[in-house]
Amino acid sequence: MLTLILVNCCTLWVSAAIHTQTVDSRLDSVNVFLNGAEISRSTTATVPTGQSIVLFQELSDQLDASSIQITSDADIAILEVTCQSKTFSDTLSPKLQILQDSIRYRQDEIMVLHHKSSALRAEKALLFANKAIGGEQNGIPLDELKKAAKFYRERIQTILDNLVVLAEDSQTVVHIIADLEKRFERDLRIFKQPKKEILVTVEANLATTATFNLRYITSEAQWQPYYNLRGQDIDKTMQLEYKAYVYNNMGINWDSIPIRLGTVNPMNNLEKPVMRAWTIQYAPQKSTNATDSLAGYETVAYLKVNEDSSSFVTIEVPNLNTEFIIPGKHSIITGAAPTLLDVTTYQIPVSYQHFCIPKVRDEVFVVGQITNLADYDLITGLASVYYGNSYIGQSYINTKNLNDTLEVSLGVDPKVKVSRVKVNKKGKKRKNGANNPYKTRLLENFNYAITVKNKRKTPINIEVWDQVPIAQEKDIVVRVKKVSGANIERSSGKLIWNTTLKPAESQKMLLSFKVKYPRAKEIELNTAKQVITPRHVPQDF
């Protein structure tokens, strides 16, 4: 087997003495990467004695000429490989010619059906025009009248039935023509797109039949990860469905071919690898710079196609040579919307945590906590989240920090209840400054009772948040009296209870604090909720 990678991106001058054979190569498979694709094609050609040229036509205009590889299993020498742009021809390809002939054939079929319908309508009109039997003055025997009536009835019925069938057949052919015309316009648009040709100069001592295998890389095909996260209940694992949006913008359709997905940079295959120092450092605490990366990551730009335009989106992926073989064969039309393919499915262990902030919302949420993301071949991307039979929304899987826990909100758990009520106790006034209102201090008590109840048949872990106010003025004093064992963040006033509830168990958390401030001033605690709602205001209001 001979292999040669020698490409000149120029127009090849071909001597008239060298035999040139144009071949139609078959698309065998596509290995799609995040920022390109490797195309594998093959063909069989009869190679004469001496030098000749095998011309591969109808190739992607965006192929990278430096990536072309040609191999053959025959006893021949590959002398030169040249890539050139194809000159557009007004002559239709055989495939387009077949489509055009099919459209014309179906159009003729419509005309035949139309003529048959016209003939039947004419016959019906003739029958109605000659329905008088025996003239106006002369009667006819009853038997003859019955025979004539039966003839008219049966013939009219047959004509009407045939007209219905012809109308249905015409409608069917109209739909077929519309589909053929749509395919013809699509394929003609592809046919008119710029193309590349590869000319392979070979030499054979004896005439032989050779199989040629062609491989090249193009930038006009990519894939983008997408995930479905499905949780059924808090005592079950979570199912992660790994999917891929595959884009084909090569100008050539993929018809029923094997597809592989990879994460490596395809251009790295052209040069021998180089190993550089592997460093490790602390990750930034807060960073919104998309170009910041940890060791072991590389930046990849993949194509994101919108309805109106195309754009490139930069992501960071692990430096792992991951490859997915997609089962079966797939067809992807060039220039169309991306095709969603199933990659693989993982059953992921997950820790479920219940969470609520009853001061803000009197509902309890379920949060799934997924760890050890590095154990799975994931790439940063969007995920649709499902819990039970409900669609929850979208989340984001970021694999940049592999040690982080991915928290996925799974919505409200109706089997766990929470309530927060204010326990009314009168505030009391202290007169420390006689009749001076600025020296008189008012003391106001605030008391709340939070109750959580587990109506499930299994125990749950729940985290409850609340808060105490933080004084913004020197003469306002806030003193916490009771928090029922909550952890308190002094700087923010946040209270956090972590507890476990047995089946059917209820727990109560008490929150009590007092605020002291000058009588001459009013305090503002901002405890009310603000809700925007549409409201009709009467004109005379």
Q: How far apart are CA 508 and CA 511, in angstroms?
A: 10
Averaged pLDDT for residues 270-283:
67
Q: Which residue has the higher pLDDT, 292 or 379?
A: 379
Length of the chain, please? Answer: 541
**Pairing assessment for the beta strands 26-33 and 254-262 based on DSSP bridges:** parallel
Q: Tell me the CA distances in angstroms from 400 to 106, 192, 312, 319, one per residue in order.
A: 57, 43, 19, 11
Which element (helix H / strand E) includes 465? strand 460-467
Question: What residues form DSSP beta bridges with 480?
Answer: 513
Question: Mean pLDDT throughout 81-104?
Answer: 84
Look at residue 269 in the predicted model and tell me its pLDDT.
54
Q: What is the pLDDT at residue 10? A: 42
**Two tokens, residue 223:** 């894939």
CA 136 – CA 294 distance, rounded (Å): 105
Please give the Cα distance from 96 to 102 (Å, whole number).
Answer: 10
Give 8-38 pLDDT, tens digit per residue: 444 444 444 688 999 989 999 999 998 899 9
Mean pLDDT to the nearest integer, 272-284: 68
At residue 309, the pLDDT reads 38
Cα angle 108, 109, 112 (rounded to 5 degrees) comes to: 90
The pLDDT assigned to 270 comes to 54
> In Å, how far from its chain's centre is CA 275?
35
| pLDDT of res. 8 | 46
Report yes or no on whether pTM surpasses 0.85: no
Contacts of 69 (CB under 8 A, 6+ apart): 3, 5, 214, 215, 216
Q: Would you say residue 140 has pLDDT above 70?
A: no
Alpha-carbon distance of 351 to 126, in angstroms, equals 84
Give residue 456's Cα distance to chain centre: 36
Amino acid 242: pLDDT: 94
Whether residue 289 has pLDDT greater than 70: no
Instruction: Point out which residues pair with 30 in neighbouring strands.
Output: 39, 259
Among 54-63, 266-275, 420-429, name the one with the lowest average pLDDT. Answer: 266-275
Complete DSSP assignment for 275-325: -------PPPSS---TT---TTEEEEEEEEE-SS-EEEEEEEEES---EEE
Is the per-residue pLDDT at 401 higher than 70? no
Whether the predicted pLDDT of 424 surpasses 90: no
pLDDT at 78 (0 to 100):
93
Determine what percent of the chain is predicted with pLDDT higher than 70: 78
pLDDT of residue 319: 52
Task: Report residue 437's pLDDT band, with 50, 70 and 90 as the boundaries.
Answer: low
Instruction: Collapse the DSSP code of 401 into the 3-class scheme (helix H, G, I; strand E, B; otherwise coil) and give the result.
Output: coil
pLDDT single digits (tens) 103-115: 999 999 999 999 9
What pLDDT does 62 receive?
81
Beta strands 63-72 and 2-4 are antiparallel
Name the least confident of 214-223, 264-273, 343-352, 495-504.
264-273
- Residue-wise pLDDT for 507-526, tens only, equals 999 999 998 888 877 777 66
Which comes out higher in pLDDT, residue 343 or 537? 343
Using the predicted structure, report yes or no on whether residue 132 has a pLDDT greater than 70. no
Question: Is the per-residue pLDDT at 436 higher than 70?
Answer: no
Residue 343's pLDDT is 92
At residue 296, the pLDDT reads: 41
pLDDT tops 50 at residue 5: no
Please state, in angstroms and as integers, the Cα–Cα distance from residue 338 to each residue in 150, 160, 304, 380, following that order.
Answer: 62, 48, 9, 18
Mean pLDDT of 307-323: 53
In this prediction, residue 255 carries a pLDDT of 92
**Is residue 498 within 8 Å of residue 463, measured between CB atoms?**
yes
Q: Which residue carries 């990536």 as its tokens?
A: 67
Supply the DSSP symbol for 375.
Answer: G
Among 60-74, 168-182, 259-273, the range scoring the smallest mean pLDDT is 259-273
Average pLDDT for the chain? 81
What SS3 string covers 402-464? CCCCEEEEEEECCCEEEEEEECCCCCEEECCCCCCCCCCEEEEEEEEEEEEEECCCCCEEEEE
CA distance 300 to 266: 11
Average of per-residue pLDDT across 189-207: 86
According to the model, what pLDDT value does residue 499 have?
A: 95
